[in-house]
Amino acid sequence: MLRAMFDLLVSQPLLLLFVVLALGYALGRVSVAGIQLGIAAVLFVGLAAGALDPRLALPDFAQRFGLVLFVYAIGVSSGPGFVTSLRRRGLRDTFWTIGLLVLAAGIARAAQAAFGFPSSVTAGLFCGALTNTPALAAVLERLPVGAHGPVVGYSVAYPFGALGIVLALAVAKRLWKRELDAAARSGHLDVRFVLVTREDAVLCGTAWCG
């Protein structure tokens, strides 16, 4: 019966897509010690499906269309806040980002030298460790159609990159919670409410503009 189910999913890529989305969304809602994978669980389910049966794959059009929607949604949700962040702390954040990218590239290059990875796999490791799907698409565009090296490297590194971010945020949340609790007990924590009376104020992302 399991074989028949796999054959059905192979013959119906659209059904496969929605099954992966549904299972990934449900898995992402599961909380373990207060930590949830969120939307990243969809990718984990997709990786697991591909590992179970190599035939479980989506058409190239579906992959590219999904990437377009992903990048578009990121731009729409982050665009207004991105412009505001450049005004406030843009130079500092830009240098931090460049430094982290250079550090990640250096680590990927060191791993390639130490383990003898092909350049294509190393590029995929770099993209996956940073959980940067658009970067993976850029790598694939530079390689012949059907090149699997970047995808393999990305698939291996992405779970560690995603889980690392989740764990780092969980640790930071616990540390900040202690500081906030201490500030509240010492009486140095001020809570204020601001009433916005401007009729032309518009909420843009994470900042007010108008």
**Whether residue 126 is found in the same domain as residue 69:** yes
**Whether residue 35 is found in the same domain as residue 90:** no
| End residue of a domain, out of 58, 87, 104 | 58
**Whether residue 92 is found in the same domain as residue 190:** yes
**Whether residue 78 is found in the same domain as residue 127:** yes
| End residue of a domain, out of 14, 30, 58 | 58
pLDDT of 110? 92
Tokens of 86: 């450049």
Burial class (CB in 10 A: 0-12, 13-18, 19+), 105: middle
**Whether residue 6 is found in the same domain as residue 85:** no
**Whether residue 99 is found in the same domain as residue 176:** yes
pLDDT of 144? 76
pLDDT of 206? 46
**Whether residue 98 is found in the same domain as residue 197:** yes
pLDDT of 186? 63
Per-residue pLDDT of the chain in tens (210 residues, 90 and over written 9): 667 777 787 778 888 888 888 888 888 888 777 677 777 778 778 878 877 777 777 777 777 787 788 778 877 877 777 777 767 677 777 888 889 889 989 998 998 999 888 888 898 889 888 888 778 878 887 877 667 788 888 888 887 887 787 788 777 777 777 666 666 566 555 667 778 777 766 555 444 454
**Whether residue 168 is found in the same domain as residue 102:** yes
**Whether residue 81 is found in the same domain as residue 52:** no
Nearest C-alpha neighbor of 151 from the set 131, 135, 136, 138: 136
pLDDT of 88? 67
pLDDT of 106? 92
Distance CA 112, CA 115 (A): 5
**Whether residue 139 is found in the same domain as residue 102:** yes
**Whether residue 113 is found in the same domain as residue 50:** no
Domain containing 151: what range? Answer: 59-209
**Whether residue 142 is found in the same domain as residue 66:** yes
What's the whole-model pTM score? 0.60
| End residue of a domain, out of 35, 58, 81 | 58
Number of domains in the chain: 2
